[in-house]
Structure 1
Amino acid sequence: MARIKERLGKDGKPNYTAEIRLKGFKPKAKTFKRLTDAKKWIQDKESDMRNGRDFNTSEAKKHTVAEVIDRYLADVAPNKFKPNELRIRGPILEWWKTEIGYLRLSDLSITDFVTCRDKLVNHGGNKGRPLAAATVKRHFVAIGHVLKICHLEWRWMAKNPLKDGIIEMPELPRGIVRFLDDGELSRLTTACKESPNPLLYPAFVLAISTGMRQSETMNLYWREPETTPTETAWGVVNLAESCIILHATKNGERRRVPLANQALAELNKLAKVRRLDTQLVFPSPTHPHKPIELKKAWTNALKTAEVNNFRWHDLRHCTASYLAMGGASLVEIAAVLGHKTLDMVKRYSHLSDGHIANVVERMNAKIFGGA
């Protein structure tokens, strides 16, 4: 809402005070000698306020990048991110404080960020080693969110200098697709089944059958815990409906994971012999309220099966690869893995070439008839 008040000055001539009151903004007022100037000011100022261009220039001159980061870490980050993400972002933002913390917001320029990017690429971050492209990008994601809050919520900056990806990032390497061939799958399945650790085999079956991330698999509960877990990913098993409901995932959305065949059978077996002092599906034998650590058992199984260059996370690649080779579309693979976009699953597209060829062949046969 805006209005103009007319008052007579000491010289007997009228003055015009323009006032603006918009929800979410502090009231603004300015006095003019001409009515047309007052109307134009209201028009321009309201446009700036509605489109995010209105800010206090004195704030940009008053605050340094270090002060902004400190406020962000104290007031924003704890409410925005889980503990694991905070442990990652904290050191990254401390690195930014070391590099450009002394600069005032009004003095920030693209050149400062280009210099920092080149330093990360060539000399590295806190450990002094050149960083991978993905890590460099993570540094800019972290500081970019700080500047976004500073611009849009605190109104300390006219604009976010990192908005719209104006700085070119180093090219990310193509994702590696490592999945088990038939022989490796058979040997590793046997090795996990014969492992002295009784939880390795059901965890292995569940991971490769559903495509769930390791954190999602390890932080499964038999029923809703009384207090919300602090883990970045956790879910609940629903045997009655043959599914798992992941309440917290990497992309922040809930996901329903169907259970079938061996995975469902293994969870039913575990349910019959599960511990009563914890709700975790895969609890630690010594600390039942924490997930079990399978690293040693997993490493031994890989060695026994003679499977090299393979990580637990690659079980997720196995799921996607087998789905692709079975004729699943990229959209379906993305739904199973819990990806919001198709970019992450395009790496599996070549594995479905045979299925695509059959689709094209059937389409041509329908249109033109058999040869």
Structure 2
Amino acid sequence: MASIIERTLASGEKRYQVIIRRKGYPTETASFPRKTDAKRWAKTIEAAMIENRHFKTAQSRKHTLEELIDRYTEEVLPTKGRHGKAQQTQLMWWKTELGPYLLCDLTAAMITTCRDKLQAEVTYRKRKRSPSTVNRYLAALSHAFSIAIKEWEWISDNPVAKIRKPKEPQGRIRFLDKQEIQRLLNACHCQPNRFLYTAVALALSTGMRQGEILNLRWKDIDFNRKQLVLHKTKNKERRTVPLASMTQQVLRELAAESHPEHGLVFAEEKADRPANFRKSWEKALREADIRDFRFHDLRHTAASHMAMNKATVSEIAAVLGHKTFQMVKRYAHLSEAHTRSVVESMNERMFETEEEEDEPESVATCGEVLWRSAA
């Protein structure tokens, strides 16, 4: 129940002190120059207490964004794996910009101003941040707010959720054609680095990410079942990857000249850590006359050739390890010819039933298609 006490200061000015005591809540006090303001505040706080909203409101007056980020960095970031370092950098930017502000004072307008600054700033690389990078900064802060809402009960609203996010351009699709695949494999085979050819062949034939390849261990490869198992994936789910015959062959050849006791398939000579073949990769690209191409684009190449080989979106997603079809839909246009052939076949069978039906064409695996291309 709220009580309002009228007090007269030494200057003769009147002040109205509000005291609210309610079971289960700390005593709340505030002072106002007008009685109407005191009554309005008391009514708001009591209503929040009744609806169980007051605790979070009170906590937001006690903690700053700096305190939130510090706690998040200490308790949550260590669980984020390899992404934690990037998120820490992003959160430090927010800490510099808005750290001293109380959580209750942070508004969507303030976040919007910072969003615009993120877009306009020139980084140490002497270029502006891309829309996707700005969105990663916003996502890092948004998740910190979400933890503060759900687990710590410091705040009740997420101001980041109220603002517009920069529109990201459609993801790039750079993939190699058959001739480029042949030139690249030949150039990789000629490099002194003994890992490069096998790593590139594995990426082309399976669509595996570079990190998945570098962290692959010999114990994860089952030559009898013609597959390998990935335990450390981007979406943190175990994934089984089929191996084409030629892919098995190059892996067996590498095993014959490697040291399986090191554990990692692509390990440095004297340490159980991933090998570095960046310079050899760049040299192979130059020798193959392939431009504007990254190692990750080998994954796009695998997916694109699967699409052109009549694989469905769900099949491509399963091979690449995507949880949703959103990322895979970018390859859909490559299978438009297949879609047209399906419609034509359906019409032929519907309206020309007298014709003999063709035998269904089997769909080759990703590895088979690419090795056939490079043959």
Bin the TM-score by the shorter chain.
Answer: 0.7 to 0.9
Rounded Cα–Cα distance in structure 2 between residues aligned with 1:184 and 1:62: 61
**Contact 2:218–2:260 under 8 Å retained in 1:** no
**Contact 2:77–2:88 under 8 Å retained in 1:** no
Tell which deviates more after alignment, 62-71 or 301-310.
301-310
**Contact 1:245–1:256 under 8 Å retained in 2:** yes
Alignment equivalent of 1:304, drawn from 270, 287, 291? 287
Alignment correspondent of 1:72:
72
Counterparts of 1:267-306 in structure 2, within 5 Å, are: 267-285=251-269, 287-306=270-289
Alignment equivalent of 1:247, drawn from 218, 221, 231? 231
Alignment correspondent of 1:8:
none
After TM superposition, give the deviation of residue 274 of structure 1 in Å: 2.4
After TM superposition, give the deviation of residue 96 of structure 1 in Å: 0.1
**Contact 2:230–2:240 under 8 Å retained in 1:** yes
Alignment equivalent of 1:264, drawn from 243, 248, 261? 248
Identical amino acids, percent of aligned pairs: 42
**Contact 2:49–2:55 under 8 Å retained in 1:** no
Alignment equivalent of 1:108, drawn from 103, 106, 129? 106
Matched, 1:209 2:205: yes
Q: 1:114 to 1:265 in 2, by over 3 A?
A: same
Instruction: Decide which structure has the larger Cα Rg and report it.
Output: 2
* TM-score normalised by the chain length of structure 2: 0.78
Rounded Cα–Cα distance in structure 1 between residues aligned with 2:182 and 2:93: 47
After TM superposition, give the deviation of residue 127 of structure 1 in Å: 6.6
Tell which deviates more after alignment, 273-282 or 87-96.
273-282
Matched, 1:172 2:155: no
Rounded Cα–Cα distance in structure 1 between residues aligned with 2:332 and 2:99: 44
Q: 1:342 to 1:276 in 2, by over 3 A?
A: closer
Rounded Cα–Cα distance in structure 2 between residues aligned with 1:343 and 1:64: 37
* Deviation string, structure 1 residues 248-286 (Cα, Å, up to 9, x no partner): 21112111111112111112222333215411101113x
* Deviation string, structure 1 residues 91-123 (Cα, Å, up to 9, x no partner): 111100111111101111100110011111112
Rounded Cα–Cα distance in structure 2 between residues aligned with 1:322 and 1:201: 19
The letter of the residue matching 1:346 is K
Q: 1:29 to 1:305 in 2, by over 3 A?
A: closer
Q: 1:182 to 1:126 in 2, by over 3 A?
A: closer
Alignment correspondent of 1:141:
139
Alignment correspondent of 1:325:
308
**Contact 1:277–1:288 under 8 Å retained in 2:** no
Alignment correspondent of 2:80:
81
Counterparts of 1:161-240 in structure 2, within 5 Å, are: 161-163=159-161, 166-223=162-219, 236-240=220-224
Alignment correspondent of 1:229:
none
Rounded Cα–Cα distance in structure 2 between residues aligned with 1:326 and 1:157: 52
Rounded Cα–Cα distance in structure 1 between residues aligned with 2:49 and 2:311: 54
Aligned partner of residue 311 in structure 1, secondary structure: coil
Q: 1:270 to 1:157 in 2, by over 3 A?
A: same
Aligned partner of residue 244 in structure 1, secondary structure: strand
After TM superposition, give the deviation of residue 300 of structure 1 in Å: 1.4
How many residues are aligned here?
A: 317
Aligned partner of residue 62 in structure 1, secondary structure: coil
Rounded Cα–Cα distance in structure 1 between residues aligned with 2:213 and 2:344: 40
The letter of the residue matching 2:132 is A
Aligned partner of residue 103 in structure 1, secondary structure: coil
Higher relative CO (CA 8 A, sep ≥ 6), structure 1 or 2?
Answer: 2
After TM superposition, give the deviation of residue 129 of structure 1 in Å: 4.5
Alignment correspondent of 1:23:
none
Rounded Cα–Cα distance in structure 2 between residues aligned with 1:254 and 1:215: 14
* Deviation string, structure 1 residues 343-371 (Cα, Å, up to 9, x no partner): 11111111101100111111112222269
After TM superposition, give the deviation of residue 76 of structure 1 in Å: 1.7
